[in-house]
Amino acid sequence: MKNRIRKLLIGVFTLLLALPLPVAEVFAEVPYKTYMVDGYGRILETQTAYTPVQAITRVGEVSFETPRDLTISKEGLLYIADSSKKVILVSDKEGNLIQTIGEGVLVSPTGVSVTKDNTIYVADQGAQKIFVFNKKGKLIKEYGRPDSPIYGEKQSFKPTKITVNNGGNMYVICEGNTNGIVQISPSNEGSFLGYFGTNYTFLNPLQMIQRIILNDAQRAKLLGNIPSTPTNFCIDDNGLIYTVTQGNKSYTLKKLNIAGTNLLGEDDYYADLPVAVTTGNYDNVFVADNDGYVYEYNSEGELLFVFGGRDDGRYRIGLCSKVEAIAVDEEDNIYLLDSDKRQIHIFRPTEFTDNLHNALYLYSKGRYTKSKEPLTEVLTMNSLFDYANKAMGRAYLQEENYEEALRYARLSKDYDGYSDAFWEIRNLWLQENLVTAFLLLVGIFVGIKILRVIQRKYHVFQPVLSKVHQVGQIKLVTQVRYGTYFMKHPIDGCYGVRKEGKNSYLCANLLLSAFVIIWIINKYYCGFLFRTVVEGRYNLVSDIGGILIVFFSIVICNYLVVTINEGEGSFRQVYCGFAYCFVPFLLLKPFVIIISNVITYNEQFIVKFLNLFIVAWMLVLLFVMIKEINNYSVLQTIKIILLTLFTLLIMALVVFIIYMLFTQVINFVVTLIREVVYRFE
C-alpha cells in the first residue's frame, strides 16, 4: 500500500514539473528608500521611484579599472572614460563592446561628451588637452591651453569635464581654475571665448568685520576667499547649462542661460556633495551625490525624489561607494557610474514615476487637461504627493475651475496657486454680491440712525443702557477698559497704575488669557497664505506653556533688575504694566486675522504693515511703562532693558544646564536599574 502511494505522489510531482509555467521578471527588494519633500518642507518617505535592475561591470571582456565619466549618445550607446586604461569604451546597454577609442592617444581621460552627429570630445587631464574623434574613433582635432592673455598667464590647463553645444563651442571645467567654465570655440584652432558661469563668494558677518578692522598685512594672512570651481555640468537641447558645485551652500545647482544668469533660486534641498548632473526627457534634472544618492528636480528646481545611498559592503545593486557620473537614456533609465565598485548601476522608473513624468511633459507643453489623467493616477497611488496636487491645481486654474484649483493648492501648500485662484473667486463674488453688500451696509447705517432718533424721543432702550452702564461701573470692567486709555496715553496710564490703583492681578490675568487665546487663533486660523503650521495639527499645551513661560520669565527678570537698580515699581505694578502693553494686540489683531483670510499675495503688505504697527506700538508702550513705573530716565530705561535681556540669557543657560544634568542623572539611574535587573536574571 505504501509503495502505491509513493508511486502516485511521484507521478503527480512529475506531471506538475512538466506543466508550462508563466515567465515573470522578478526584482529583489529595493535596497534603499525613496523620499520626497511636502509643502511644509518635511522630508517624507514615498513609493519607490526607480528600481535597480542591472549592473554593468565590464564592456565585452574588458573590465573597468578607473572609470571617470559616462555619457549616452542619441543612439543609446554608452561612452565610458577609463583613465587607467587610457581609452574611451563604447558599448550598448547590455554591456557588449562596440569599439574602443583613443588607444595610443589618450593619457588620462576624465571627461567625455558626444554630440548629435556622434563626434566625441574627450577632456584629458593627464595630457592637458582636449581630443576630438569622429564616430569611427579617428582623431580629427586636439586643443591645448588657450593662447590668450585673458585666460591667465600662469593659469594651467587641466581639463576634467567637457560638454559641447549645438554650435560646436566647447565648455570645459579645468582643475584649479576658479575663474569659471572655460569657453573654447573650434574656430582659429581653438580660440578662447572667455569664462562662463563663475561662482560667487560669500562673506559671513565675522569675515566682513575682520576685513574692516584689519590692516593690509593682517588681511594678507587670512585664508583667501576664492570662488569654488564647478564640479560637473551638462547641457540640454535648448542650450541651457546646468552646473553643480560642492560647498556652494544653497546654490549647488545652477541653470545658466547663454548670458550666464542663474535661472534657479536658492534651495535647501540641493545635494550636499554633488558630483554629476544631467537632464531627463521631461525638462527634469538629475543630480548625483558623492554618497550615491540621486536627486531628481523639475525644470524649476523643485525636488521630486531622492533615492539611492552608500553601499554598506554587501555590493548590492543600486547602492554606490563613489559616484563619478550620471546619465539618462531615451527610456528614462538612469545610469550611475561607480568608480570604487567599478560598475554602472542601471535604474528603471516605476509606473508611479512614468505617470509623473508624463504629467510633467503634458503640463510643460500647455496641455493641462490631458495632464490631469496621469496626475490622477499619481494621486491614486499617493494622495500626499504634493507636487502632483500642485500640478493638478495649476491645471484646474488654467481651465478656470477655480474652486478645484483652490482645493488642490491648499492640499499642496501651493501659495502662489492659492492666491491666483482665490483672486478669481473673490472677483466673481464681488461681481455677484457687491450691490447687495453695499445696500446692506447702507441699511445698517440707516437703521442705527433710526434707533438713535427713537432713543432720543422715546427712551425705549434706556433700561438696557442702564444695565450696560451698571456693568461698566464694576471695578474689574473699569480696570479692563482702562487698557484703552493706557494704550493712547501711556504716561498718564502708568500714573494711574502707580497712584490710582488702576490695576489688579485679576485684570492682568484676564488680559494675559485674552492674549493667549488670540495668539492661538492667529496661529491656527489666520489666512492660508500666512499660516506656517501644519493643518489639522494642534499643539495647544506647548503653545500656552511657551507663552506663559516667556511672559513670566520677562516679568520676573525685569522686576529683579529694577529692584537692584532703584526702581520704584512693585511687582504688582510691573506685572500689570506688562499686561496692559498687550492691549494694542488684543484690539487690532482680530481685524488682522479677518483681513488675512480675504486677501491675496497682491495685498499681503496690508497684513505685514498692520503686524509691524502692532509690534511697534507694543514696544513703545513697554518702553514707556518701564520708564514711568520705575521713575527712570531714558538712558536708565535703555540700561534696564539691556540688563533684562542679559538676565534672560543667563536664566536660559542655567535652565539648559540643569536640564542636561537632570537628563544625565535619569539616564544613569535607568542604566543602573537595567544592569541590576540583568545581573539578577
pLDDT digits (tens, 9 = 90+) for 434-474: 888 889 999 999 988 888 888 788 777 778 777 777 777 78
Per-residue pLDDT of 597-655, as tens digits, reads 999 988 899 999 999 999 999 999 999 999 999 989 999 999 999 999 999 999 999 98
Interstrand relation of 159-164 and 170-174 (parallel, antiparallel or unpaired): antiparallel
Q: Which three cell numbers stand for residue 336?
A: 550611475
Region class of 164: left (phi > 0), else alpha (psi between -120 and 50), else beta: beta
Between CA 649 and CA 661 the distance in angstroms is: 18
- Sequence letter at residue 408: Y
Stretch among 347-351, 411-415, 465-469 having the lowest mean pLDDT: 465-469
Cell triple for residue 482?
482702562
Q: Are 365 and 376 in contact (CB under 8 A)?
A: no
* 93 within 8 A of 78, measured Cβ to Cβ: yes
Backbone dihedral angles phi then psi of residue 147, each to the nearest 5 degrees: -95, 75
pLDDT per residue over 662-677, tens digit each? Answer: 888 888 888 888 878 8
- Could you give the count of Cα atoms lying within 13 Å of 273 in the half-sphere of its Cβ? 10
Full-model pTM = 0.79
- Percent helix, strand, coil in the chain, to 5, is 45, 20, 35
Give ∠ CA 250-253-257 in degrees, rounded to 5.
125
> CB of 375 within 8 A of CB of 388?
yes
Question: What's the per-residue H, E or C state across 233-266?
Answer: EEECCCCCEEEECCCCHHHCEEEECCCCCECCCC
Strands 241-244, 253-256: pairing kind? antiparallel
Bridge partners (DSSP) of residue 63 are 58
Residue written as grid cell 529595493: 30
For the cut 60, the answer to whether the pLDDT of residue 23 exceeds it is no
Predicted local distance difference test score (pLDDT) of residue 177: 87
Residue 11 has pLDDT above 60, yes or no: no
Average pLDDT over residues 17-26: 35
Between 156-170, 200-214, 318-332, 585-599, the lowest mean confidence (pLDDT) is in: 200-214
**What percent of the chain clears pLDDT 90, i.e. is strictly above it?**
43
Please tell me the predicted confidence (pLDDT) of residue 296.
Answer: 94
Average pLDDT, the chain: 86
Left if phi > 0, otherwise alpha if psi is -120 to 50, otherwise beta: which for 357?
alpha
Q: Which of 26-30, 201-205, 612-616 has the lowest mean pLDDT?
A: 26-30
- Taking the C-alpha atoms of residue 266 and residue 580, their distance in angstroms, rounded to an integer, is 42
Above 70 in pLDDT, residue 212? no
pLDDT digits (tens, 9 = 90+) for 263-282: 888 877 888 889 999 999 88
Quick one: pLDDT band at residue 9, thresholds 50, 70, 90? very low
Task: Render pLDDT for 269-317 as a digit per residue (tens, 0 to 9).
Answer: 888 889 999 999 888 999 999 889 999 998 888 899 999 999 887 888 8
Q: Residue 7 pLDDT more than 80? A: no
Q: State the burial class of residue 41 (Cβ atoms within 10 Å of its Cβ: 0-12, 13-18, 19+).
A: exposed
Across residues 325-345, what is the average pLDDT? 93
Nine cell digits for residue 348: 528603471
Residue 674's Cβ-side half-sphere holds a number of Cα atoms within 13 Å equal to 6
Residue 632's contacts (CB-CB under 8 Å, 6 or more residues apart) are 567, 626, 640
Specify the pLDDT at position 210.
61
Q: What is the pLDDT of residue 539?
A: 87
